[in-house]
Copies of this chain bind each other. A is one copy, B any other.
Amino acid sequence: MSICVTKVDRSAQSFADELAGFGVATVHEAQGRKALLDAALRPIYRPVSIAGTAVTCEVAPGDNWMIHVAVEQCQEGDVLVVTPTSLCHDGYFGDLLATSLQARGVRGLVINAGVRDIATLTEMKFPVWSAAVCAQGTVKETIANVNTAIVCAGQKIVPGDLIVADDDGVVIVRKEEAESVLDKAKARVANEEEKRARFEAGELGLDIYNMRERLTEKGLRYVDSESDG
């Protein structure tokens, strides 16, 4: 017995729109360095940067049936997140499913498995983060859950949570934390801008971050040659 949950409490689209501009590394730092998906998920083309609300989808190994069920649950501004119930690199997703998602206003796909038709997906500018590129076809025999809480690429994802993805990878922002993460990301970026100007001017991190004293306390010694060490 499997279920497809039809009512999802989505984070506000405005949060997604703003977070997309900050990028994964900044958002990840802003929320205390958590909720990053495994770095094995890579974009099929670069540069790319999106954010949206998660629709989740489990699939059996070698079986992409449930993606069709999930598509119907997707709305404008969503990101589809697919995870196989055991390790599988088959090509679960190609240009027809992308066409269907694009027609619904879906912003991209995150899948801990393989995809195919990547030349066409790239032309269509449909963003995909996947664990593999593989032309291996799948069957439609086994059902699984749609829009339940899942673990994908090492992170728990609740439907309606925010997905932020770019060249660096994929990070989740819990819907209940979206506002505060956004505030922290803004502050962080403002601070980074100021730092960047100082770095460009030739100042050192050692001075900007006031590290010299603490390094000495920890025992760092400056010597003329390794044999003095």
Which A residues lie at the B interface, using CB under 8 A? 1-7, 23-25, 28-29, 33-34, 36, 39, 42, 46-47, 49, 60-63, 65, 68-69, 71-72, 85-91, 94-97, 99-100, 103-104, 114, 116-119, 122, 132-137, 139-143, 145, 147-149, 151, 154-156, 166-169, 171, 192, 195-196, 199-206, 209, 211, 215, 218-226, 228-229
Contact between chains at A6 and B68 (CB < 8 Å): no
Q: Report the nearest B residue to A35, measured CB to CB.
A: B151
Identical chains bound together, number:
6
For the A-B complex with A1-B219, A3-B229, A96-B195 known, give 17 more contacts whose Cβ atoms are closer than 8 Å: A4-B222, A5-B224, A6-B223, A28-B136, A39-B89, A39-B133, A46-B118, A46-B119, A61-B88, A62-B142, A65-B211, A100-B205, A103-B200, A103-B202, A135-B169, A141-B142, A156-B156
Contact between chains at B215 and A69 (CB < 8 Å): yes
On chain B, the residues within 8 Å of A94 by CB distance are 25
On chain B, the residues within 8 Å of A96 by CB distance are 192, 195-196, 199, 205
On chain B, the residues within 8 Å of A97 by CB distance are 199, 205
Set B90, B166, B196: member contacting A86, Cβ < 8 A:
B90
Contact between chains at B168 and A7 (CB < 8 Å): no
On chain B, the residues within 8 Å of A4 by CB distance are 220-223
When chains A and B are docked, how far (Å) is the Cα of A192 from the Cα of B196?
45
Q: Which 7 A-B pairs have CB atoms at the shortest separation, nearest pair first?
A: A61-B62, A141-B141, A39-B134, A68-B205, A3-B229, A135-B168, A99-B199
Set B86, B218, B224: member contacting A88, Cβ < 8 A:
B86
When chains A and B are docked, how far (Å) is the Cα of A87 from the Cα of B153?
12
On chain B, the residues within 8 Å of A3 by CB distance are 220-223, 226, 228-229
On chain B, the residues within 8 Å of A42 by CB distance are 133
5 CB-based A-B contacts, threshold 8 Å: A24-B135, A62-B85, A103-B199, A143-B215, A148-B226
